[in-house]
Amino acid sequence: MDIKGLFMKQKMMRTVLLSLVPVALAAVFLFGWRILMLAALVALAASLTEYLVMRSISGNKAKVSEAVFVSSALFTLSLPPRTPVWIALVGIVFGILFGKAVFGGFGRNIFNPALVGRCFIYIAFPSQMTMAWAQPFASLPGGFANWTVAADAVTSATPIITYNTTGTIAPSLNLFLGTIAGSMGETSALLILLAGIFLVYKKVASWQLMVSTVVSGALLSAVLHYAGVTHATGMLAAPPLFALLSGGFLFGAVFMVTDPVSAPKGKGEKWIAGSLVGLITVIIRTFSLFTEGMMFAILIVNALTPLIELQYGKLKARRKLPGKEAVQ
């Protein structure tokens, strides 16, 4: 069997994987080598799932998209460091099957497959996904000399949870560098921002989607915080800088919102979609008991994208109509 012939070559996807290398290495330093084992098993399960489904559709001509490895990497990096292997495998199989394959494979799905899988296990296994967070290694050699964090280095609190329950804000430097409890690839704002710059430079990801998500999220966070709006737990709504640097906000804005298949294609539509993601994320974080709203916000906007494109297209057509009538 020609292994290379089984995969659909996609240079864009390899560029995204390259941008994730520093993020993944930082995750290993923070939480140990177990992450790479988990990533390899998730990628194997994802590619096998996609192959079996595509084979049932296309027979011997079935090919697996290289995008499946991007979905696998993003899914893995969005997980808590101590996520059980079996839960990760259930999540990625569900995401590839119901977030991508059922629509006909690459290029036809309307939802981000990685987030479909993440959302499923977040709801199905809330205890494992929300209650056990590893405290990261803080100094060299850190996770490079360890398989995983010690059992006694587990906490139930991330910076967002801590703020919502006590009002205490984690140091901005820790949030920026990533030496905080959180999902494996979402803690280091510095590396995520550098990856975003790289993807925009390579013209692989849309800066309009990134900027609109960040700006809208920051603006609404500022309005709610300085207006004295309180969180569902009774604490003041999170300040804008903390809101951007904590949780999966930047990771989602750089890697998830910009998914080339599920995101809108036109510039105007991108501004609208990104703005909605930022606004919905802050609304969910502030007015619900869910500590992380980015995942839900992106999936909601994924569902709205066809409508956004349709209505924006009609609006552009109306604006051109008077000129056409004048010509006639």
What is the predicted pLDDT for the residue at 64? 82
Is the pLDDT score of 306 beyond 80? yes
Beta strand pairing call for 133-134 and 154-155? antiparallel
3 state SS of 122: helix
What are the DSSP E strand ranges found in the chain? 7-8, 64-65, 133-134, 154-155
Q: Give the pLDDT band of residue 327 (cuts 50, 70, 90).
A: very low
Residues of the chain above pLDDT 70, percent: 93
Cis peptide before 81 (omega within 30 of 0): no
**Least confident interval from 37-46, 263-272, 315-324:** 315-324
**Least confident interval from 21-30, 31-40, 62-71, 198-207:** 62-71
Q: Give the pLDDT band of residue 290 (cuts 50, 70, 90).
A: confident
What is the distance between the alpha carbons of residues 12 and 115, in angstroms, rounded to a whole number? 20
Pick the residue with more confidence: 4 or 116? Answer: 116
What is the distance between the alpha carbons of residues 225 and 236, in angstroms, rounded to a whole number? 6
Pick the residue with more confidence: 270 or 104? Answer: 270
Q: What are phi and psi of 14, to 5 degrees?
A: -65, -30
Q: Measuring CA to CA, how many Å separate 277 from each of 164, 196, 212, 225?
A: 21, 17, 9, 19
What is the predicted pLDDT for the residue at 69? 94
CA 212 to chain centre: 16
Quote the pTM value: 0.92
- How many angstroms separate the first and last alpha carbons of the chain? 62
Residues 57/90/179/228 CA torsion (nearest 10 deg): 90
Is the pLDDT score of 245 beyond 60? yes
* DSSP per-residue string spanning 64-83: EETHHHHHHHHHHHTS-TT-
Question: What is the pLDDT averaged over residues 20-30?
Answer: 95
Q: Which amino acid is at 10?
A: Q
Is 109 in contact with 261 (CB distance < 8 Å)? yes
Q: Give the pLDDT band of residue 289 (cuts 50, 70, 90).
A: confident
What is the predicted pLDDT for the residue at 157? 79
Question: What is the pLDDT averaged over residues 197-225?
Answer: 96
Q: Give the pLDDT band of residue 63 (cuts 50, 70, 90).
A: confident
**Least confident interval from 54-68, 281-295, 296-310:** 54-68
Pick the residue with more confidence: 307 or 318? Answer: 307
Is the pLDDT score of 55 beyond 50? yes
